[in-house]
Chain A
Amino acid sequence: MPLAIETHELTRYFNDFCAVGGIDLRVEQGTFYGFLGPNGAGKSTTIKMLTGLLATSGGTIKVLGRNMLDARESLDAKRHMGVVPEDLALFDNLTAREYLTFVGRIHLMPRETIRQRCDELLALLGLEGEEKKLTLEFSHGMKKKLALAAAILSNPDLLFLDEPFEGVDAVTSRVIRDLLAGFVARGSTVFLTSHVLEIVERLCTHVGIIVKGKLVEQASLATIHQTGSLEDRFLHHAGAQLETPHKLNWLEEAAS
């Protein structure tokens, strides 16, 4: 199986602070890869470097066989990628349909296709009643849905999603799950980050666990299940301090 994403010693420093410390990712094409880690572990930083939003401090990145650190090759890779970044990538002063039209044209899609997919996506994600609103008037969940629509509009081979289920309602969450499952089923790749174990466990076929900037586990979910549960593995790596349980004694005293 060819690799959709491959990194070697990927590193990022913020001043002296090491947010991502030399990780080697290997994501095969056609997999649903969950990048799991506690808050502040370096998930968003990694995804930003993979998609070219953030400069690396060291290491190499190959996405869809192209070197992302090369100006020309990275453009080539970007042609086949869809991304929902951490703080999204919306324009305050456009409506949802205008934004999608713009993104479609950027991807050189024909007008008719754009119009048709716009209708479908807006209806599917429950945004069709909001066409008068500018994005700056959207709620956080609505913004997220719009960003997702823009990411899959061009039907990419590889989808990067940073915490896609944060702040999204249950109905839409179900819609998105089905959508992503279909996406993977026909051979595309999804790379999503989450700090919520259940999501990764339910959706993904492969898992990488990052803790404090280090990749501590990378395997298929099936392999992990052979030796135990994902939760055990996650807590084993992320919750080392839980072994000496810290109690807040004053919280357990009788209320005065």
Chain B
Amino acid sequence: MTSDRDRTDPGRAEKSHESAVSTIPDGGTVNTPFDVVSEYEETRRDRLKKLYDTYVYAPISIIKRDWRARIGFAIVLLYVFTATVGVYLIEPTHVTEGPGLAKPFETWEYPLGTDDMGRDLLSSTVHSTSEILKMILSGGLFTVTLGTTVGALAGYKGGVVDTVLSSITDVFINLPGLPTVMVLALMLPITGNPYLIGVLLTITAWGGLARAIRSQVLTLRQEPFVEAARSMGVPSYEIVFKDIVPHLMPFVVINLTNAARRVIFSAAGLYFLGVLPFRNHNWGVTLNLAYSGGAHYKTGALHWFLMPMIAITGISIGLILLGQSLDRVFNPRVRARHEKKLAESQLDEVEPEDDDSETMIGAA
């Protein structure tokens, strides 16, 4: 055996990962690995660097390579920029600021035209953005948090917990969406708080997500890695949120963007119907005013409708693109390829997608 070793190429030890069992010292005489004391030093800097790599660098570099993500991100960022910085650049408008129903691009003072009372449409669109974004944020997060938590717990725990949570879910699923929202909007003292409106608009939406998540968790909980965690005595909530939910993230993100779009559409719709309380103008309210102002039959007033509609469609498309592309961020295979530190050390590594001719054929 020893002579065999001498004849081998010295470079091979590094090359082969599998070879090293023979290097285990014989017998268990000396150190069991349990006695090891700290010799591994990782400074805070290293740790921060790793965190940066995982949570900032890798996602960004993944997103950079995907055109959907780039466009989606650009659109959403534009809206956020408008809502935060834009409001300082463009003065709020007021009645009779300009001539009534000025056409877009007629004068540079009112690039998008004005409404029948002479309000600048650009300014009113810009100034309602932040309110809408707040609604989207609260509505989306509410749906996803509640839906995922309830669904995952019901699916993982089973038994009584499942029965109770599933019944509640079913109740919410079966509430008639729009009427409920309208009634609640009238009954509750919301007074135009955008966060509360966001939640209100999605009050019936989380049930569907919870149910979908539950059924996926039912399959995932049978997976060996979950069983392994259970056998290690990991508490249930940790298993649910650290082991199971990460596997559902692509699905959750798609639902997040869908919920956000739902918020915009319902908000615009309900403002248009005049059901929701409001303090300031927003896209839905503008639509309502345009309608009651007769913009759909008056020639030369069409832009009054178009401005809010473009604003709504734009963010909706941005969210769709973003949702579709973000699932790659959660894919460990894709992530791993984009992490700086590993990227270098892996040049000699067999990539999983193409390592094995067997799998390709098997799939064919």
A and B are interacting partners: no
Query: Which residue numbers of B lie inside 8 Å of A, CB to CB?
Result: none
Q: Chain A interface (Cβ within 8 Å of chain B)?
A: none
